[in-house]
Amino acid sequence: MRMILVGPPGAGKGTQAARLVDTYGIPHISTGDMLRAAVKEGTALGLAADDFMRKGLLVPDEVVIGMVIERIAKDDCAKGFMLDGFPRTQPQAAALDDALRAAGVSLDAVVLLEVDDALIVERITGRRSHVDTGEIYHLKFNPPPAGIEDKLVQRKDDTEEACVARLQKYHSETAPIVPFYGSLGILRRVDGVGAPDAVQARVQAALAG
């Protein structure tokens, strides 16, 4: 299964990916997670990306494209992968298309998680992640278990200001690439509103159908 999870910030891409990868036995490749790891390690890539991410802007295509093309060429992607947060611009979509074509493979599905802008700020500002495991929680919608308060961290771009910028970028750069996947007949639109279990069931039904 070669698939993409696409959707606005806070749509639940990371939450659903964590639930789905075991089912399909494929790696979860989140460009946001890869970039945050690079920032944490202080690599050249991380230094280049940090300022863009903090402001809710997109990291330049030339940085992200090479990172992903290299990643999906690894052995663990031979049977497939779940991309989360890539592609999010037209050049990224074209580069992925070229790389897959050159490898003689193609995408099976693109799942679009649909959540209205009005719900996004609350999802983003209430998010907390476990510093060691990366597990995603929400103070109201998916409360962390008691006793791990000192292990919870908030992303630097989970401010209201950066969230507005991220939403703008989603609408101007990422939403326009969605019709391309529609034209290939592999787009699956899924309502991302409701309990995470309900959304998961919808995604699985969409992938099975």
Q: Count CA atoms within 13 Å of residue 149 on its CB side.
A: 2
Q: Which residues bind ligand AP5 (CB under 6 A)?
A: 7, 9-15, 31-32, 35, 52-53, 56-59, 64, 85-86, 88, 92, 123, 126-127, 136-138, 141-142, 157, 166, 194, 196, 199
- Per partner kind, with CB cut-offs from 5 to 8 A, the member of ligand AP5, Mg ion, none near residue 38 is none
The tokens describing 7, both together, are 């959707």
- Per partner kind, with CB cut-offs from 5 to 8 A, the member of Mg ion, ligand AP5, none near residue 53 is ligand AP5
Q: Tell me, yes or no, if 155 is annotated catalytic.
A: yes
Q: How far is the CB of 53 from Mg ion (least distance, A)?
A: 12
Q: Tell me, yes or no, if 79 is annotated catalytic.
A: no
Q: Tell me, yes or no, if 202 is annotated catalytic.
A: no
Nearer to ligand AP5 (CB atom), residue 26 or residue 138: 138
- Per partner kind, with CB cut-offs from 5 to 8 A, the member of ligand AP5, Mg ion, none near residue 45 is none
Question: Hey, which residues are catalytic here?
Answer: 13, 88, 127, 155, 166
Give the interface with Mg ion as residue ranges (CB under 5 A): 13-14
